Each structure stands twice: as C-alpha cells, then as structure tokens.
Structure 1
Amino acid sequence: MKPLGALLGNAALRPVLVIWGFGYLLVDIFVYLMGRMPLGVSSVASIPLFILGVTYTLLLEWTRQRLRDRPSWIRWGGLGAALMLATAVHSFFDLYYFKWLAIAVVPDWQRWAMDITPERIFTVGLLYLWTFCLALTLLWAAGVGGAAERAAARATLFKAEKQRAEAAALRLQLNPHFLFNTLNSISSLVTLDRKAEAETMIDQLAGFLRASLESDPMADVPLARELDTIEAYLGIEAARFGERLSIEVDVADAAMAAMVPNFILQPLVENAIKHGVAAQRGEATLRVSAVAEGEELVLSVVNRATTGDSPDPAGAGGHGRKGIGLMNIRQRLRISYGERASLDTRAVDDGFVATIRLPLQLSRIDRAAA
C-alpha cells in the first residue's frame, strides 16, 4: 500500500492533472460560447474545484490501494461507494460554490448559478463521475505498467546474476585440475630429492594463487594483467619441464590494453602443456600471441614439437576429459559476448593451434589517454 505522499510523487499523476485541467478548460470554452462569462474567467474561478478534484482522485487511489488485497466484493463495493461519495461531494460543492460566487462576488451570474435543477445536478454529477473514473483508470494503468517495468528490471537483474554465477562456476572448474598436477609435480620433486626445484615450484605456485585469489574471477582485465598471470603459471611449468619447454610471448603493444575475461587463456595454456609437452619425450615450444585486427582481438596459443614425437592432436583438442577446458571457454565467451566471440582449434603437422576471437575493447585508462 502506498502512502498519500508517495502517490503525490507518482509520475502517473501528470496525465491526471492534464485531464482535470483540460476538463475545466472545455467548461471555460463552453460557458464562453453560451455567453455566460468572458473567456478564461471560468478557469480562474474553477481553481479550487481543480485542486479538490485532484485531491479526491488521490484519496480514491489511496482507497483502491488499501482495498487491493481484500475480497473482490469488499474491494469493488468499497471503491464504488468512495467513488459515488466523491462525485456527490464534488458536484454539490461545484453547484453551491458558483451559487455563492453569484451572490457574493459576481451578481451577473445569478441568472444561471441560482438555478440548481435536478437536470443540472445530474449533468454535473455525470461529468465528474466520468472524470474520476478516467483518472482512476489512468492511475491503475500506470501502476500496472510500472509493475511490469519493475518485474522486467528484476528479471534482467536475475538473468545477469545467473550468468555471473554460471560463468564463475565455469571459471572455478579449471583450478582443481591444475592444482592437482602442480602438487603432484612438487611431490615428485620432493621424492626425487630435488628440493631446490620443489621450492622454486612452490614459490611459483604461491605467486600464481596470489594472482588468482586477489582478482575477481568474473571481471574483465587488461590483457597485460592476464599475461602476468599466464607467465606466473608458465613459471610453474618451466620449473617442472626445464629445458624441454621453450616459451614465447608475442603480443602487440596495441593489444596490451585490450580487455579480456579473467583467466581465459589459462586453460588453453594448460591444454598445450598437458597434450603438447607432457605427452611427448622431446622438446616443445609454446607460443602465446595477441594482435588487434580491426575491431577484433585475436588471441592464440600454439604448441609445436621441436624434437621427438608430435603432440597428440586429439588430446590437444581437448577431447580428453571430454574437453572440459575448451567447453568452459566457449561457454564463458558465449555468456560475455554472445555470437561476437569464438574459439577455434585445429591440428597442424607438428602441433596444435587454439585461437580466440573477441570484440576489441580497450580499458578505460587507455580510452582516456586516446
């Protein structure tokens, strides 16, 4: 239920004010054409009636709000009684207000204002009843429209929160697998009494986890920050594989300020390590690149066998573990960009290439500098 003050601030009242004002303007024109008074005089004289009419409308709407949750017979009966009472009070005030003006202020009006016949009472009452009903209908329609807008806004908010929760779940699915591999590697190094390498990997893991935990997993971040996280991750893998792994990072300066989903590259790099380095005996090269092409940002992760057997193309494509990493990336891109972003994977003779295309969006700082 809305208090009367809230109704006064309702934007739906503006049409109601127009209705009452337009109604008294029509009366002004009508009485002018009948020769009763000069044009504009009736409108000025009707200002108290106009104020009362709007006030009665607010009271009727307040009554309707109070009876909204009552049984229908109480709701409609109570509103109907209030409507008839407001019509009767306003009609008789109109008739006797002009009669008083005729006696006390404008004697020329006595020839028509003093004649309060049943026909005149019926006509005035019918006009006010119609005005009240129209005003209430507009208030009701405005309330329904406002409720629909609020429901639509809530639905939009719920949809956004659902997408955020879904994307967060997809993002967090990637960490357990990586942590298992890293801890298993550290355990192996300790078992082999390679303590210095184990300590290095622990330090690298701490740096990676710090970068992961201190950032919002759902926020877009500049590509430069994403690359810092990837380099922390690759530091762990470099400690694990040693000289078997060569790492290349080639990112154009213009792409550094581009905004990307947080941790969007990590599963691609993890796939490249798992299927392109760990799956073979020889050396391998992992290359991460980014370039701005028109209105698109193109991110690529390429793993190639330098010596030894080529990586397994099927495994590099993410078919192991049902391709959870690649599937999550595609879902995150769909949530954030719809059809404007894509992930393509393809096998080459000596390795595998994964390419992400997404809209080029610069950070606010970079836009301001531009």
Structure 2
Amino acid sequence: MNDANDRMRMVAGTMVLGSFYRKTFDMDHSDTSAAAFFSRVIKLVLSFWAAEFFMTGGLWVVLGVNPVDYAPIKLVVSLVCVLITLMISHIVAMMRARNIAAQVFVSAVLSILASTVATTIDYHLFTYVKPAVGVDYTIENFCYTLFYGVSLFFGWSCFFIAYMYNLKVRAQERRLAISREEALTAKMQALYYQINPHFLFNTLNSIVGLIEEGASSQASRVVLSLSSFLRKTLEMDPLRDLALSEELALQSEYLAIEKERFSDRISVTLDIPQELRTALVPSLILQPLVENAVKHGLGRSSGDLKITISASQEEDRLQLSVDNVSDAGEVLPMVKRSGLGVGLANVEERVKARFPEGGSLIAGPVSPAHFRVTLTLPLRAPAADRLADAAINAAPAVTA
C-alpha cells in the first residue's frame, strides 16, 4: 500500500506540472504591472494545488481508498503548501534581476526546506489527528513524501522562473516593436516632409518662368493654386493613407498649376478602374512621379507631352503607372537605379520602409519617346467610414 501510495503521488505531481506548463504559456501575458502579475501568480498557485488535490483524490479512488476520509486533512496540507509556494514565488520574484542559475539554486534550497515543513505537518496530521487507515506512516513513507514535495515545489519554482523569463522576453519584444514603430514613423515623416520642399522648388521655378515671360496674371493664379495646394498638404497627416481618388485629386491640383505654364503642351489622361478608386495609398505617393513626368518629359523635348496615370490590379497588388510620351521622338537615356532623381528615390525609400516585402518601384524607357514609372503596392481596402469621403473627392476619369 505504501509503494502504491508513493507511486500515486509521483504520477499526480507529474500530471499537475505537465498540465501547468502547457496551459500557462498559452496565456496572454500582455499586462505585466505589479498588481496584475501577483494577482495572476496567486491564481496560478491556487490552481496548481487545487489540481494536485483533485488528481491525488482521483488516484486514491483508483487505488481503492476513499478520498473523503482524508479530504479535510489533505485540504489543510494543501492550504499550507499554497502559503509556502507564495512565499517561494515572492523570494524568487525578488531575484528576477539575478541570473537564472542563481534563481534555480535558491529555488532548490527553498524547495527542500518547504517540503520538509509541509511533510512534517502532513506526518503529524495523518499520524496524530486522523490516522490513515491501512497506511503506516513509516520513515520510508516520510522520505517518499518528502521527495514528492521537493519535486512539486522545485517543479513549481522552475515553472515560475520560466514564467517570469517569458514575461521579460515578451516585454522586451513589445519595447523593441514600439522602438521600431517609432523609428519607422520618424523615417516616414522625414521622407514625407522632403516632398513639399522638392515640389516647392519646382513650382517656384515655374512662377519665375511665367514672370520672365510677362504672364503676370498666370503667375498670380499659380501662386494662389500653390498656396491652396501647400495648405492641404501641410495640414495632412504624413502617416494617414488616402483613397486613390483623393490622391488623384491632389495630383490634379498640381497638374493644374503646371498647365498654367504649359497649357498648350500638356495633356493628361487618368485610366483608373472604378473598383480601384477606393484603394488605399500613402499620401502624396504619386506626387514625385507626376513631377518627374512633367520635368523630364518637357525638359527633353520642345514638343507636346502626354501624361497617363493608370492603375491596375495584379492578384493582391495595386500597380500605379505614370507614363510620359513626347511627340518629338528623341531618344531617352536609360535610367539606372542609382540614377533616380530625388523625387523617385524618395518614393522608393517610402515604399521600402512602409512595405518591406510588398512594394517596389521600377523606372525606365518603354520606347525612345516613352518613359514609365511603375509603383507596386499591396492592395488595401479602406475602412467603411472613408468610402464617403473618397467618393466626394473622386477625380474625373479623363482630364484634358
């Protein structure tokens, strides 16, 4: 009977520890405040010893022993073990800044002391208060119980050390994720704020050109249009995504500024499927592409320039293309990756920072008179409350 009882204890302890290791590390430990931490520890300790209590009772039934006879004494012993386990947990928690080896060593010593106290109480209760029927509490039985207690207390201690380490790693991961997000936000803002100066310089050059040509009324209109455009872009959140229709509306305003100067040379076509007009894109992501088309398309030719902005869907990707075709037909030089201008390089950096695995930019001549920049982004749908705004700000399909 003694051997069966001891084996029963060992089996119960193994089942309890195994169950707790599996269940606890599946929990969400997002709240690591002191109060929440110790509240969770108390619940775990109570659950641990409750599981041991009921598993032991179940094994007693299997062995033909009535667990009800021993339940009151076993309950007292379990409550003592709960208090001792909380003390061990508190001591180990105070050592969380020490290395794991030191924590394990202290846990082993505390487990031996704790098991000695619990086994002594167990021995006196079962021997003098309510003797166990059919069980002789010999020295050998005492030693088995002591070893069983050490295995439980030390098993809990190792679990608790692993539990604290798990919380520590999760906290470090959260801090690292926050740091990465803050760094990405700062980078995106820096790249975004490069757009306005770049655009401003180009537009001021256009105004100077109009003034030199004596077109003062046109220059005035450009200044007013520039003021309106800059006000909108400066008030815009650099990390806020826009519906494609909103982005196109902004580019239409920019092109209106350029057409004040080159009204007889620029024609613009928008080829945007209706179902893609609500797709989300980073704000002002097309601005440098359109600027590049105007600047280099007109800069290399004295003829007319046709700009086409198109969108298409390729599986789960959104492809945006800006084509500029010159009527002069002169040969355009190949553009290497290192040869991208400030604007295109800016877009490429923004796309890589925002979508490391789902974005790209390709620029190069299609034919001697045809240059294309293609931007690939993940296809993302807007939130429901953005659909109405996107519809209001939608740009027309074709602008001449």
Give TM-score, length-normalised by structure 2: 0.75
Kindly indicate whether the alpha-carbon contact (under 8 Å) linking 1:57 and 1:132 is maintained by their aligned counterparts in 2: yes
SS in 2 for 1:257: coil
2:166 maps to a residue whose letter is G
**Using the alignment, how far apart are the partners of 2:386 and 2:134 within structure 1?**
74
**Using the alignment, how far apart are the partners of 1:118 and 1:200 within structure 2?**
103
The answer to which of 61-70 and 196-205 deviates more is 61-70
Match of 2:372 among 313, 337, 353: 353
Alignment identity in percent?
A: 28
Shift of the 2–58 alpha-carbon distance from structure 1 to 2, 3 Å rule, reads farther
Kindly indicate whether the alpha-carbon contact (under 8 Å) linking 1:2 and 1:65 is maintained by their aligned counterparts in 2: no
Match of 1:209 among 215, 230, 243: 230
SS in 2 for 1:86: helix
Kindly indicate whether the alpha-carbon contact (under 8 Å) linking 2:289 and 2:344 is maintained by their aligned counterparts in 1: yes
- Name 2:74's counterpart in structure 1: 46
**Using the alignment, how far apart are the partners of 1:51 and 1:133 within structure 2?**
17
- Name 2:360's counterpart in structure 1: 342
Match of 2:165 among 144, 162, 169: 144
SS in 2 for 1:225: helix
Shift of the 320–332 alpha-carbon distance from structure 1 to 2, 3 Å rule, reads closer
SS in 2 for 1:243: coil
SS in 1 for 2:355: helix
- Name 2:252's counterpart in structure 1: 231
- Name 1:329's counterpart in structure 2: 347
- Name 2:55's counterpart in structure 1: 25
Question: How many corresponding residue pairs?
Answer: 356
- Name 2:391's counterpart in structure 1: none
Kindly indicate whether the alpha-carbon contact (under 8 Å) linking 1:318 and 1:325 is maintained by their aligned counterparts in 2: no
1:228-261 alpha-carbon deviations (Å, 9 max, x no partner): 1111211221123232222222322111111112
Kindly indicate whether the alpha-carbon contact (under 8 Å) linking 1:248 and 1:287 is maintained by their aligned counterparts in 2: yes
Shift of the 319–55 alpha-carbon distance from structure 1 to 2, 3 Å rule, reads closer
- Name 1:300's counterpart in structure 2: 321
Match of 1:282 among 290, 300, 303: 303
Shift of the 272–52 alpha-carbon distance from structure 1 to 2, 3 Å rule, reads same
1:38-60 alpha-carbon deviations (Å, 9 max, x no partner): 14543464123223323321220
- Name 2:120's counterpart in structure 1: 92
SS in 2 for 1:22: helix
- Name 1:13's counterpart in structure 2: 44
Match of 1:125 among 117, 134, 146: 146
How far residue 321 of structure 1 moved from its aligned partner, in angstroms, is: 6.6
- Name 2:183's counterpart in structure 1: 162
Kindly indicate whether the alpha-carbon contact (under 8 Å) linking 2:104 and 2:158 is maintained by their aligned counterparts in 1: no
- Name 2:270's counterpart in structure 1: 249
Kindly indicate whether the alpha-carbon contact (under 8 Å) linking 1:290 and 1:299 is maintained by their aligned counterparts in 2: yes
Match of 1:222 among 243, 262, 265: 243
Shift of the 311–345 alpha-carbon distance from structure 1 to 2, 3 Å rule, reads farther
SS in 2 for 1:358: strand
1:245-300 alpha-carbon deviations (Å, 9 max, x no partner): 22222322111111112212111111111110133222222222223455432322
1:363 maps to a residue whose letter is P
- Name 2:291's counterpart in structure 1: 270
1:276 maps to a residue whose letter is G
2:285 maps to a residue whose letter is I
Shift of the 5–279 alpha-carbon distance from structure 1 to 2, 3 Å rule, reads closer
SS in 1 for 2:264: helix
The answer to which of 267-276 and 201-210 deviates more is 201-210
**Using the alignment, how far apart are the partners of 1:4 and 1:282 within structure 2?**
74
Shift of the 49–188 alpha-carbon distance from structure 1 to 2, 3 Å rule, reads same
**Using the alignment, how far apart are the partners of 2:368 and 2:106 within structure 1?**
83
**Using the alignment, how far apart are the partners of 1:80 and 1:213 within structure 2?**
63
Q: How does 1:99-110 map to 2 (within 5 A)?
A: 99=127, 101-102=129-130, 109=131
How far residue 95 of structure 1 moved from its aligned partner, in angstroms, is: 2.0
1:260 maps to a residue whose letter is V
SS in 1 for 2:364: strand
Kindly indicate whether the alpha-carbon contact (under 8 Å) linking 1:345 and 1:355 is maintained by their aligned counterparts in 2: yes
SS in 1 for 2:344: helix
Shift of the 320–66 alpha-carbon distance from structure 1 to 2, 3 Å rule, reads closer
2:179 maps to a residue whose letter is F
Shift of the 46–359 alpha-carbon distance from structure 1 to 2, 3 Å rule, reads same
Shift of the 214–123 alpha-carbon distance from structure 1 to 2, 3 Å rule, reads same
**Using the alignment, how far apart are the partners of 1:248 and 1:51 within structure 2?**
80
